[in-house]
């Protein structure tokens, strides 16, 4: 094969995957979309409702969802899912690590307890990012009106 034909063949091989892509596979939510969804979720919450969850973007079985916490939930463990989270709005506290007291399996993907013994306490504010590994107890407290999180569960099952 001559040098020119080899270069042409290589160029065709490299270009083939690019030509096969017909659309952008990424899922995207602009800042305005995020604000609109948070406002709609907050408006839809009933008096006394402490938690709301709504998918924001999703692809290939993965979901990045908005969570609005107006009151604390129960301490939890996700045995086979890590949780990647960013604080979007509001303020709160996170306790993670330690041991989940009075643990009870409520669903195959969720174990809840009454409290966390010996965990690490952190103050949460907008812009904070954290990753809770699978099997690690965690709990969110709310400071002020609400705590808004953008979270994604990452399966660790293989």
Other CB atoms within a 10 A radius of the CB of residue 86 amount to: 15
pLDDT at 27: 84
Supply the pLDDT for residue 122. Answer: 97
What mean pLDDT is reported for the chain?
87
Give tens-digit pLDDT for 61-112. 889 999 999 999 999 999 999 999 999 999 999 999 999 999 999 999 999 9
- Share of residues in the chain with pLDDT > 90 (%): 73
pLDDT for 103: 97
Pairing of strands 110-112, 104-107: antiparallel
- Residue 10 reports pLDDT greater than 70: no
């Amino acid at each position: 094969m001559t040098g020119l034909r080899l270069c042409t063949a290589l160029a065709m091989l490299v270009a083939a995957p690019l030509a096969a892509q017909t659309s952008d596979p990424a899922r995207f939510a602009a800042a305005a979309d995020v604000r609109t969804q948070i406002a709609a979720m907050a408006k839809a919450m009933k008096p006394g409702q402490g938690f709301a969850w709504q998918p924001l973007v999703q692809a290939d079985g993965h979901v990045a969802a908005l969570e609005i916490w107006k009151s604390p939930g129960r301490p939890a463990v996700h045995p086979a899912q890590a949780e990647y989270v960013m604080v979007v709005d509001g303020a709160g506290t996170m306790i993670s690590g330690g041991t989940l007291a009075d643990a009870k399996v409520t669903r195959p993907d969720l174990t809840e307890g009454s409290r966390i013994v010996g965990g690490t306490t952190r103050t949460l504010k907008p812009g904070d990012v954290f990753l809770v590994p699978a099997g690690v107890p965690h709990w969110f407290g709310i400071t002020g009106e609400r705590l808004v999180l953008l979270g994604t569960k990452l399966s660790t099952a293989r």
